[in-house]
């Protein structure tokens, strides 16, 4: 990389270490400039992810004798989304040296897939769980199924996953449109 000065015929060649340290030292030229309103989108994503995290954590705590993998997947999708949002906001605002446009794009695309799957599995689980009822045989009665509150929470987690999918998908288009 050639750097010219005001003196005639004087060219200084910067080493790769010098140009790398100049870029890492605080220059934000490698960061994709986004509208200020995009911060609001990330905050909304964070709020929805926390709601899904709370709903799925409560569902897991209410399941006796085991847990459904679908609930755990919703919890993991919410946790990963929170981590991705913190990385994105930290890299853009505070630590430009760790910013990587391709990593953020790949993580956003991965989160879109995660939320699509979370929506599908939580909705399928919500539809497949039978209402709470008792079944009795000759000697014992067994309580089978889920309470209406549990099913409602599961449906709410599926609905919030759909909302997060919509917001995540609209956020993914920030680099292309």
In a domain, 6, yes or no: yes
In a domain, 31, yes or no: no
- Domain membership of residue 105 as a residue range: 2-26+36-172
User: Mean pLDDT for each 10-residue chunk of the chain (177 residues)?
Assistant: 53 42 53 71 91 92 77 94 90 77 86 92 85 72 72 90 85 55
CA distance 120 to 40: 26
Spatial CB neighbours of 143, under 8 Å, sequence gap ≥ 6 = 132, 133, 134
The pLDDT score that the predictor gives to residue 22 is 43
Instruction: Please tell me the total count of domains within the chain.
Output: 1
pTM over 0.85: no
CA distance 25 to 98: 11
* 8 A C-beta contact, residue 51 and residue 160: yes
The pLDDT score that the predictor gives to residue 74 is 93
Q: What is the DSSP code (8-state) at residue 66?
A: S
The pLDDT score that the predictor gives to residue 50 is 96
Q: How far is CA 120 from the centre of its chain?
A: 16
CA distance 139 to 142: 10
In a domain, 85, yes or no: yes
In a domain, 76, yes or no: yes
């Amino acid at each position: 990389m050639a750097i010219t000065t005001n003196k005639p015929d004087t060219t200084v060649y910067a080493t790769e270490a010098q140009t790398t340290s100049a870029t890492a030292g605080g220059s934000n030229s490698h960061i994709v400039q986004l509208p200020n309103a995009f911060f609001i989108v990330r905050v909304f994503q964070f709020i929805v992810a926390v709601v899904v995290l709370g709903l799925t954590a409560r569902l897991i705590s209410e399941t006796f004798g085991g847990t459904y993998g679908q609930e755990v997947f919703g919890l993991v999708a919410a946790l990963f989304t929170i981590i991705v949002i913190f990385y994105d906001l930290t890299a853009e605002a505070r630590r430009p040296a760790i910013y990587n446009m391709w990593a953020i794009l790949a993580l956003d695309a991965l989160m879109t897939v995660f939320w699509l799957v979370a929506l599908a599995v939580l909705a399928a689980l919500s539809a497949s769980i039978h209402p709470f009822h008792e079944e009795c045989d000759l000697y014992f009665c067994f309580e089978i199924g889920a309470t209406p509150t549990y099913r409602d929470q599961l449906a709410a987690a599926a609905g919030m996953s759909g909302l997060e999918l919509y917001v995540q998908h609209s956020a993914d288009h920030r680099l292309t449109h």
